[in-house]
Amino acid sequence: MHFLTIDDFEVDGKTILVRTDLNSGLDENKEPKDNIRIKYHSGTIKELSDKGAKVVVMTHQGRVNSRDFICLEKHAKLLENHTEKDVKYIDDIFGSYAKNTIKSMKKGDIVLLENVRFSAEETSVDKDSHLSHMVKQLAPILDYYVNDSFAANHRNHVSLVGFPQVLPSFAGRILQKELDVLTKVLDNPKRPSVLCLGGAKVDDSIKVIEQMLFNNSTDRVLTTGLVAMVFLAANGDYIGNATHKVLVEKKADLEIKYAKKLLKKYRDKIIMPVDFAVEVEGRRVEIPFSALPSDYPLLDIGQDTIELYKNIIHNAATVLCNGPAGVFEKEGFETGTVELFRAMEKSKAFSVLGGGDSAIAAERLGMLDKIDHVSTGGGAFILFISGKNLPAVDALINSAKKYGSLITRVTNDT
Ligand code: 3PG
């Protein structure tokens, strides 16, 4: 995978558009909560600013009609806290105000443009993105484009795939690190390599399991959360109406069918829970596998499963984990998630945690710094580890082919 990076270009004095993903959860006042995306992107922004670039930051926030579809004024404050530099918020994307501000920037300045999804073009142009108004207005006043938004790289949106077609473009530090780490753990993991998958997104998870087993990227798959329920159902184990209802609501029939095929082929590699936690009169009660079917929803893995999985993680050399092991937001049912994260932290294995709910859980538990790599990506992470190409990464690779000869510094090949 050949794309260019910050190391390939002399950025001093250059005007650079940095597409980040500062898409954040909101607090009760509808303000963005500080989070790893803002923290990590600040590193790339600060580095470019320290090197004398004029840094124009772009991001989306929320989706049209959703509660979190807000402007970015408060995001600028959070970026200021992390970069310890002034970040000027511009309530414009590519109009005269934005363009004049960009033209008047000095070396080291940082501006944050308005939520790029406020422009309907961002998500609606599905081909020739480079002919969009956004790209046509901004590209002539920019020297380079930096894609740092791994978490949005599965989107075919204008700000992600349009600019690399008309500007020399390179990966920011986050994207570079994500691709580097994830490619290594997929293509050449240290053995034994363990995949631990939970959470509620069963369709994506089944694809990941299929791909990683097929490619021999993993030696063991530890199933938790709803993913485990799909495999139990595929195995012919009747889990009980309460949990089965959730699978029906999720329309998981197809996944159960796939899971059956996977069990047929890789039964010795796919591990299912041996006990569970349910809620009885507001309390956590553990039940063994033999007590299934249960009238109560299965909300977490039980202690025997935790010990079994911890032991496998302890002896692993690589652990890739995505999705909480249970309903971790519910008091008493965070145990499985916490214990498995702790096992990752204690294990000598190189540990990678998927973004989205897993990163939120790790952040809430104060464990972010204890995992070797916490991905900023939710959907993008899952798609990438299930072997799919990310359109924005493809755009960057194509840009490297087109503009590689313009490299202005000694390159580190990636
Ligand atoms: C995410 O939060 O996963 C990314 O920011 C992508 O957001 P989207 O799913 O709204 O495109």
What CATH number did the domain enclosing 105 receive?
3.40.50.1260
Tell me if 134 sits within 8 A of 121, measured CB to CB.
yes
Based on the fold, state whether residues 154 and 207 are members of the same structural domain: no
pTM score = 0.92
Q: Whose CA is nearest to atom 11 of ligand 1?
A: 152
| Residue 39 shares a structural domain with residue 160 | yes
For residue 393, pLDDT over 90 is answered with yes
Residue 311 lies in a domain: yes
- Verify whether ligand 1 is closer than 6 Å to residue 155 (CB atom): yes
Please indicate whether residue 21, judged by its CB atom, sits closer than 6 Å to ligand 1. yes
Ligand 1: residue of 155, 161, 383 to mutate (most ligand atoms within 8 A of CB) is 155
Interhelix angle 241-249/225-234, rounded to 10 degrees, is 100
Note the pLDDT of residue 266: 98
Domain residue limits at 259: 191-348
pLDDT at 414 over 50: no
Across-strand partners of 19? Answer: 58, 147
Measured distance CA(101)–CA(169) in Å, rounded: 22
Shortest CA distance to 55 belongs to which of 3, 94, 107, 114?
A: 107
CA 187-398-179 angle, 5° bins:
30
Could you tell me if residue 186 is inside a domain?
no
In the chain, the percentage of residues whose pLDDT exceeds 70 is 98
Claim to verify: residue 135 and residue 195 sit in the same structural domain: no
For ligand 1, what atom is nearest to the CA of residue 60?
5
The answer to whether residues 131 and 239 belong to one domain is no
Query: Which ligand 1 atom sits nearest the alpha carbon of residue 379?
Result: 3
Over residues 46-85, the pLDDT tens digits come to 999 999 999 999 999 999 999 999 999 999 999 999 999 9
| Of 21, 115, 116, best ligand 1 pocket probe by most atoms within 8 Å of the beta carbon | 21
| Listed residue (41, 129, 24) closest to 391, CA to CA | 129
Residue 37 domain-assigned (yes or no): yes
Q: Is residue 385 part of a domain?
A: no
Q: Measured from the CB, is residue 164 less than 6 Å from ligand 1?
A: no
201 within some domain: yes
Region 128-152 average pLDDT: 97
Q: Is 379 exposed, middle or buried (0-12, 13-18, 19+ CB in 10 A)?
A: middle
Give domain status of residue 359, yes or no: no
User: Are residues 146 and 254 part of one domain?
Assistant: no
pLDDT band at 126 (very low <50, low <70, confident <90, very high): confident
Are residues 107 and 46 part of one domain?
yes
122 lines ligand 1 (CB under 6 A): no
Q: Are residues 25 and 107 in the same domain?
A: yes
Q: Does residue 262 lie in a domain region?
A: yes
User: Which among 51, 47, 43 has a CA at the least distance from the CA of 79?
Assistant: 43
Residue nearest to atom 3 of ligand 1 (CA): 378
DSSP 8-state secondary structure symbol assigned to residue 284: E
| CA 209 to ligand 1 centroid distance, Å | 22
pLDDT value at residue 256: 97
Number of domains, the chain: 2
Lowest mean pLDDT among 54-58, 168-172, 268-272, 410-414: 410-414
Question: Are residues 222 and 321 located together in one domain of the fold?
Answer: yes
Q: Which residue has the tokens 């939120």?
A: 360
* Continuous H helices in 8-62: 36-50
From atom 8 of ligand 1, which residue's Cα is the shortest distance away? 152
- State pLDDT tens for residues 150-188: 999 999 999 999 999 999 999 999 999 999 999 999 999
The tens digit of pLDDT for each residue in 281-339 reads 999 999 999 999 999 999 999 999 999 999 999 999 999 999 999 999 899 999 999 99
How far apart, in whole angstroms, are the C-alpha atoms of residue 25 and residue 151?
A: 14
- Considering the domain architecture, whether residues 263 and 219 belong to the same structural domain is answered as yes
pLDDT at 141: 98
Exposed/middle/buried for residue 267 (C-beta within 10 Å: 0-12, 13-18, 19+):
exposed
Residue 340 and residue 292 share a domain? yes
Minimum CA distance residue for ligand 1 atom 7: 152
Q: Which of 325, 316, 348 is nearest to 272 (CA)?
A: 325
Task: Give counts: helices (H), strands (E), the chain.
Answer: 16, 15
Neighbour order of strands in the sheet with 283-288 = 283-288, 275-280, 300-301
Identify the band that residue 410 occupies on the pLDDT scale cut at 50, 70 and 90: low
Q: What is the pLDDT of residues 202-247, one digit of tens each?
A: 999 999 999 999 999 999 999 999 999 999 999 999 999 999 999 9
- Let me know if residue 381 belongs to a domain: no
| CB of 409 closer than 8 Å to CB of 10 | yes
Give rounded-to-5 percent helix, strand, coil for the chain. Answer: 45, 15, 40
Length of the chain, please? 414
50: its two tokens: 């320290």
Tokens 């004398």 label which residue?
52
Residues 149 and 26 in one domain: yes
Best residue among 24, 60, 72, 175 to mutate for probing ligand 1's pocket (most ligand atoms within 8 Å of CB) is 60
Domain identity same for 196 and 171: no
CA 72 to ligand 1 center in whole angstroms: 16
DSSP assignment, residue 121?
A: H
